[in-house]
Amino acid sequence: EFDGDESIEYPLPDDRRAYLHLAEGSLTVNGQRLSAGDALKIRGEPLVKVSEGRAATVLLFDLP
């Protein structure tokens, strides 16, 4: 959950992918603004950067 100035950087090795789903609120992921219900597939990025959350509930899946 994110609401305010908190942020996180999750390292993503080259052989891994991530799936991020925003259940509630809004936030920014790797510079892209998301709203409730949005999702991202992330591949080829060294970090998943999550910031600028507003009443945000987010699920991040680290996948092979």
pLDDT band (50, 70, 90) for residue 17: very high
46 Rama class: left (phi>0) / alpha (psi -120 to 50) / beta: alpha
pLDDT tens for each residue of 23-49: 999 999 999 999 999 999 999 999 999
Query: What's residue 19's pLDDT?
Result: 98
pLDDT band (50, 70, 90) for residue 50: very high
Query: What's residue 60's pLDDT?
Result: 98
Residues in Cβ contact with 62 at an 8 Å cutoff, skipping those fewer than 6 apart:
10, 12, 16, 18
